């Protein structure tokens, strides 16, 4: 293998795939990044066996010029060096020794045997199961993945459930204390129900180009593929039956309060600081008292007490005065996931789950939170 490459192009390629590479992976070959040069393109692959990024760079004779095709696996030490080089890079592979030249810098570095690198699944990715705009994909992930569980006690709850029918797609996540849901129109006539690891979606929105469409391929019970321009992501699906969450979402409420999302959020974050000692800093329990205004308060013997009054825009329903306590962190996360200026706080009883939803949105979405018993 022999090639010349623009350092910015090479650094960008490495950064696209290295997010899932673990330097201390139990399988040594997966500690590196697979690189293959053909006359048409450079192929970069990073993987931890469960998640895999594949990135293609076209050979254009200007930014990339392949003199001799070949393949290798670059160690972390090599990629660390390559990302720091600022002038055109020449790479020549002789056996498993990679000679790197850039301006005044020269290196001869050991590589891994590319024949030992795991082969990617051979799925056809010509016709996607469905497609989303990059911004829409980001929005759906942002509004759901944070509500997934971080505990491996019930692994299925660490994912986002995609339930797709011929006319709609439901994305749902829950950790059994809160729930995030987005419903959107289906772009496919297929039906499927899969659970995608939430951490995989987090990797995707941090890596994908959101100005480019995201194409999703799901032809297997164990694997799902996402394509975003020249970047392809392979991911193992979570196994098991996702719980039926539809029965958890109420359809009727005792009252609906319309309130400014940004103001509500700012005051919650202030009061949260007082409340953290009540649950060892996990999220802070606060109390909401609605009676002509929305009063957020917290009291702890260790810290003291504090309260903030937020004027609501309107309130409707049979109960316009009530108290309810909940995790400040959960409501803060929910409010951050919503993009609208105003939200509805939908109340159905002081020990019944409440719902927060945007007042005006092009997306059918909601956040559900379970209250807690307190003072």
Average pLDDT estimate for 150-174:
94
Shared-domain flag, residues 98 and 136: no
Shared-domain flag, residues 188 and 296: no
Residue 86 lies in a domain: yes
Distance in angstroms (rounded) separating the CA atoms of residues 210 and 220: 26
Write down the pLDDT at residue 299.
Answer: 80
Distance in angstroms (rounded) separating the CA atoms of residues 71 and 64: 15
Shared-domain flag, residues 19 and 83: yes
Distance in angstroms (rounded) separating the CA atoms of residues 189 and 6: 44
**Full-model pTM:** 0.91
Percent share of the chain, pLDDT over 90: 83
Average pLDDT estimate for 245-262:
94
Write down the pLDDT at residue 274.
Answer: 76
Shared-domain flag, residues 218 and 272: no
Domain count, the chain: 3
pLDDT tens, 193-210?
999 999 999 999 999 999
Write down the pLDDT at residue 188.
Answer: 79
Residue 358 lies in a domain: yes
Average pLDDT, the chain: 92
Residue 124 lies in a domain: no
Residue 68 has φ and ψ, to the nearest 5°, of -140, 120
Shared-domain flag, residues 144 and 104: no
Residue 212 lies in a domain: yes
Write down the pLDDT at residue 302.
Answer: 75
pLDDT tens, 260-306?
999 999 999 998 877 665 555 556 889 999 999 999 998 877 778 88
Write down the pLDDT at residue 178.
Answer: 97
Shared-domain flag, residues 65 and 169: no
Residue 278 lies in a domain: yes
Residue 290 lies in a domain: yes
Write down the pLDDT at residue 282.
Answer: 57
The arrangement of strands across the sheet holding 294-300 comes to: 304-310, 294-300, 285-291, 321-327
Residue 203 has φ and ψ, to the nearest 5°, of -60, -40
Last residue within a domain, chosen from 61, 88, 116 = 116
CATH code assigned at 286: 3.70.10.10
Write down the pLDDT at residue 167.
Answer: 85
Q: Which domain holds residue 266?
A: 250-369
Shared-domain flag, residues 15 and 78: yes
CATH code assigned at 54: 3.10.150.10
Distance in angstroms (rounded) separating the CA atoms of residues 98 and 95: 8
Which of 167-176, 179-188, 278-287 shows the lowest per-residue confidence on average (mean pLDDT)? 278-287
Shared-domain flag, residues 81 and 141: no
End-to-end CA distance of the chain: 70
Shared-domain flag, residues 345 and 286: yes
* Integer CA distances (angstroms), 315 to 7, 21, 225, 290, 324, in order: 59, 51, 45, 10, 16
Write down the pLDDT at residue 280.
Answer: 52
- Strand-pair partners of 291: 321
Residue 186 lies in a domain: yes
Residue 176's pLDDT band (cuts 50, 70, 90): very high
Shared-domain flag, residues 202 and 153: yes
Residue 375 lies in a domain: no
pLDDT tens, 322-371?
999 999 999 999 999 999 999 999 999 989 999 999 998 878 999 999 99
Residue 126's pLDDT band (cuts 50, 70, 90): confident
Shared-domain flag, residues 282 and 352: yes
- Strand-pair partners of 173: 180
pLDDT tens, 72-110?
999 999 999 999 999 999 999 999 999 999 999 999 999
Last residue within a domain, chosen from 223, 246, 269 = 246
């Amino acid at each position: 293998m022999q090639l010349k490459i623009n350092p910015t192009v090479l650094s960008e390629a490495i950064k696209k795939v290295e997010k899932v590479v673990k330097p201390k992976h139990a399988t040594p070959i997966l500690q590196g990044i697979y690189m293959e040069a053909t006359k048409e393109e450079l192929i970069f692959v990073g993987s931890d066996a469960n998640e895999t990024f594949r990135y293609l760079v076209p050979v254009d004779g200007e930014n990339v010029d392949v003199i001799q095709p070949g393949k290798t696996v670059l160690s972390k030490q090599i990629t660390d060096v390559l990302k720091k080089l600022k002038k055109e890079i020449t790479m020549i592979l002789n056996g498993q020794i990679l000679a790197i030249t850039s301006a005044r810098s020269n290196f001869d570095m050991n590589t891994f045997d590319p024949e030992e690198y795991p082969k990617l699944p051979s799925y056809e990715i010509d016709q996607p199961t469905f497609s989303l705009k990059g911004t829409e994909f980001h929005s759906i992930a942002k509004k759901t993945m944070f509500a997934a569980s971080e505990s491996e006690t019930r692994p299925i709850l660490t994912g986002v459930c995609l339930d797709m029918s011929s006319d709609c797609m439901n994305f749902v996540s829950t950790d059994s204390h809160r729930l995030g849901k987005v419903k959107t129109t289906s772009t496919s006539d297929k039906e499927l129900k899969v659970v995608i690891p939430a951490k995989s979606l987090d990797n995707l929105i941090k890596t994908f180009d959101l100005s480019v469409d995201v194409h999703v391929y799901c032809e297997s019970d164990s694997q799902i593929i996402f394509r975003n321009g020249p970047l392809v992501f392979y991911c193992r699906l979570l196994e098991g039956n996702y719980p039926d969450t539809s029965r958890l979402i109420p359809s009727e409420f005792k009252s609906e309060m319309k309130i400014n999302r940004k103001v509500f959020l700012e005051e919650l974050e202030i009061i949260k600081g007082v409340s953290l000692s009540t649950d060892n800093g996990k999220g802070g329990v606060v109390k909401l008292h609605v009676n002509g205004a929305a009063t957020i308060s917290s009291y702890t013997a260790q810290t003291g007490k504090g309260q903030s009054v937020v004027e609501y825009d309107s309130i409707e329903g049979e109960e316009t005065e009530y108290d309810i306590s909940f995790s400040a962190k959960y409501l803060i996360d929910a409010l951050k996931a919503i993009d609208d200026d105003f939200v509805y706080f939908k109340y159905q009883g002081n020990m019944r789950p409440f719902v927060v939803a945007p007042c005006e949105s092009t997306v059918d979405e909601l956040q559900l939170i379970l209250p807690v018993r307190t003072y």
